[in-house]
Amino acid sequence: MNWKVSATPRALAMTFSLGLVIFASSAMAAGATLTVGNVTSIPCTGTYSTISAAVAAASPGDTIQVCPGTYNEQVSIGKKLTLIGAKAGVDARTRATTGESIINNSCGSVQIFADSVVIDGFTIQGSTDLDPCYIAGIYTNPGGFGYDGGYQILNNIVQNNIIGIEMDNTGVLPAKVEHNLIQNNNNPGPDGGTGIDTNFGANKITVNANKFVGNSNSAIGNFGGGSNLTFSNNEFASNRRAIGVFAITSSTISGNNMHNSTGATTADIRFFGGVSGVAITCNNLASGAGIGIRIDDECPGYPNSSITINNNNISGYPVAGLQVDTLSYAGGPGSLDATNNWWGSSTGPTIASNPGGTGEPIVDLDGVVKYSPFLTTLSSCAPVPQIGPPTNKDQCKNDGWKNFNSPRTFKNQGDCIQYVNTGK
């Protein structure tokens, strides 16, 4: 027998078989579930009385299941883990708030220091202490701590912190923030009043189908820059503004419902400079206290460029629907594509170049905005405006009746005026 010939496949077969055994053993060893419960969680009980103890005992790839109850601790996660609260898989925007797994800590409740961590189904609250504490309810900074990110923050109520979530990501692994209720993160401190904040760079992150309510600075604020960001299908209600960003590129803002913002001196969408390649499409912007969309260059020398604003509903802003500050946009006349938007009236926006336009004003001192053609009815791809009820009959005129869906969707201008006069 030729041992040189026959020994090779035999050795390979043995190696392969041994590999299968090792793989199978590893698979059985990994992926364990550790349970957590304390005196507040009875009758649900767990092997560990604190989440931090379970994290310390866990191996990468494990799942930590947390009973309903209150956990007054700071949870620092330095390995790939999945943390499952009592409301895992249940959309935080609409669920009942009883039976929550609550993590509460004044120095910041949760810090993520590893790749591919999942946080699902918690209430995370209580950040009040300043540096050296982590001032966010959930803190991430992959680039600063030598990992890539790729976390998933799902189905959480994030509330009553200085900052709700410090959201950063290197972009090597995509990250996702979805189905969260991010509200009232207004404790005093740096960037206090911000729902999601970025200070160290955000890349390849999807922020989808969340609800932001009552954040007194900005629902989303990004002054750390980044690229390939998607802000989609979120609701922004009664925040000072919805989105304020600096130096982001190749990103989209789409399908969002922004309404009743409180900031009279800002805008629901505000670009502070250095923004390029961003599409604002199919959003509803309604009934804010200031401006719908503002493009400016707060730090001169960083003009914005290659921005498109299409198929949005923009109505109910007392200052302007769109304002482009002088020298804030790099491009000649008509280079900013803002066509096919609904400006609150079938006559189009109010601007000198559109005689007879009675819709939202456009402030465009440099003449860079191309707004025609414009929509004469509501955008079919944007969320239905949540405006109402009308309080005077002038709000019903010039197709304003089309903006209301509270107390009902009106059939015509007369139907709207009748409601104002009779309440029916």
Give residue-wise pLDDT tens across range 277-298.
999 999 999 999 999 999 999 9
- Its pTM stands at 0.87
pLDDT beyond 60 at 24? no
The single-letter DSSP state of residue 326 is T
Q: How far apart are CA 301 and CA 68, in angstroms?
A: 52
The H or E element spanning position 320 is strand 320-324
Supply the pLDDT for residue 348: 98
Q: How far apart are CA 206 and CA 289, in angstroms?
A: 28
> 3-state class of 184 per DSSP?
coil
> 3-state class of 249 per DSSP?
strand
Question: What are the angstrom distances between the C-alpha of 98 and each of 73, 245, 268?
Answer: 20, 35, 32
> 3-state class of 106 per DSSP?
coil
* Residue of 252 and 8 predicted with greater confidence: 252
Superfamily holding 31-391? Single-stranded right-handed beta-helix, Pectin lyase-like (2.160.20.10)
Supply the pLDDT for residue 16: 37
List the single range of 21-25, 120-124, 264-268 with lowest mean pLDDT: 21-25
**pLDDT band at 30; cut points 50, 70, 90:** low
Supply the pLDDT for residue 2: 32
Using an 8 Å Cβ cutoff, are 312 and 281 in contact?
A: yes
List the single range of 1-15, 90-104, 242-256, 362-376 with lowest mean pLDDT: 1-15
pLDDT beyond 70 at 5? no
Average pLDDT over residues 6-27: 39
Using an 8 Å Cβ cutoff, are 258 and 289 in contact?
A: no
Supply the pLDDT for residue 9: 36
Instruction: Delimit the domains of the chain by residue range.
Output: 31-391, 392-424
Q: What is the average pLDDT value for the chain, to the nearest integer?
A: 92
Q: Locate 212 and state its tokens.
A: 């932001």
Span 313-345, pLDDT tens digits: 999 999 999 999 999 999 999 999 999 999 999
